[in-house]
Amino acid sequence: MFKLLQILFVLIALLFFTSCDDGKTKPKINLATEEDNIPIQESWNSKILFTENGILKGILYTDYLEAYKKPKEKLLTNVRVVFFNASGVKTSQLTSKRGRIDDVTQDMFAIDSVVAINDSANVKLETEELMWRKKDQKIVSDKFVRITTETEIIEGYGLVSDQHIQNYVIKNVTYQTTTEAVKN
């Protein structure tokens, strides 16, 4: 019996020492955490002003911002943008759950539960994704959009609009009705 216990002890010791091989205990290196994949800047409760020739064009508010070196972009969480006309009067605002700013083109992308409202014209735009192009200050989307005004509801795919949502075109209209028809 004693001899059997000695053999069992030797077997357990051999298993223990052979399972502790150096190659198996080294930690794996995660190459996904390279320098380019780590934000170069983070900010909470941020406010970014957009101006042109000293005139305020918009204010972007976000709960969380992370800036990256490659690609040159900023990722945003819980976004609200307020747009102003040349006289400094608030004309419209946009909200979304997420956003992205291309630092090269200065284009802004609103993603997930996007709502844009023109206060003076009483126009509401809803979609899942859109882009504000800096070069021509247009709002564009190739996704499903819904525009609600005091007199009509229009739905379709694809949109081009000015940033104040006053002059817009839905490229592929799938539904259109007057609000009187909806109320009845």
Contact of 145 with 125, CB cutoff 8 Å: yes
Q: Backbone dihedral region of 106: left (phi > 0), alpha (psi from -120 to 50 degrees) or beta?
A: left
In a domain, 136, yes or no: yes
What pLDDT is recorded for position 149? Answer: 93
Task: Tell me how far CA of residue 24 lies from CA of 15, 18, 28, 32, in angstroms.
Answer: 14, 10, 10, 21
Residue 156 is part of which domain span?
A: 39-183
CA of 147: how far to CAs of 116, 123, 152, in Å?
9, 7, 8
Task: State pLDDT tens for residues 17-72.
Answer: 655 555 556 666 665 556 657 899 999 999 999 888 888 988 999 999 999 998 89
- Residue 44's pLDDT is 97
Q: CA torsion 128→160→50→93, rounded to 10°? A: -50
Kindly state whether residue 4 falls inside one of the protein's structural domains.
no
CA distance 101 to 159: 20
In a domain, 79, yes or no: yes
Sign of CA dihedral 166, 81, 110, 126: negative
Share of the chain above pLDDT 70, in %: 79
Query: Does a structural domain hold residue 13?
Result: no
Q: pTM for the complete prediction? A: 0.74
Q: Tell me if 30 is assigned to some domain.
A: no
- Find the DSSP H helices in the chain: 2-19, 22-25, 179-183
State how many domains the chain has.
1
| CB contact set of 65 (below 8 Å; sequence gap of 6+) | 41, 42, 43, 44, 46, 74, 75, 76, 77
Residues 93-114: pLDDT tens digits?
999 999 999 999 999 999 999 9
Count of CB atoms within 10 A of residue 127's CB? 23
Give the pLDDT band (50/70/90) at residue 13.
low
pLDDT 10s digits, 105-158: 999 999 999 999 998 889 999 999 999 998 998 999 999 999 999 999 999 999
CATH number at residue 165: 2.60.450.10
Decide if 129 contacts 56 (C-beta within 8 A).
no
Asked whether residue 33 is assigned to any structural domain, the reply reads: no
The answer to whether residue 123 is domain-embedded is yes
User: Is the pLDDT higher at 65 or at 88?
Assistant: 65
- For the sheet with 108-118, list strands across it: 41-52, 55-68, 73-84, 90-102, 108-118, 123-133, 138-148, 152-162, 168-178
Count of residues making up the chain = 184
Per-residue model confidence (pLDDT) at position 22: 54
Task: Give a yes or no: residue 34 inside a domain.
Answer: no
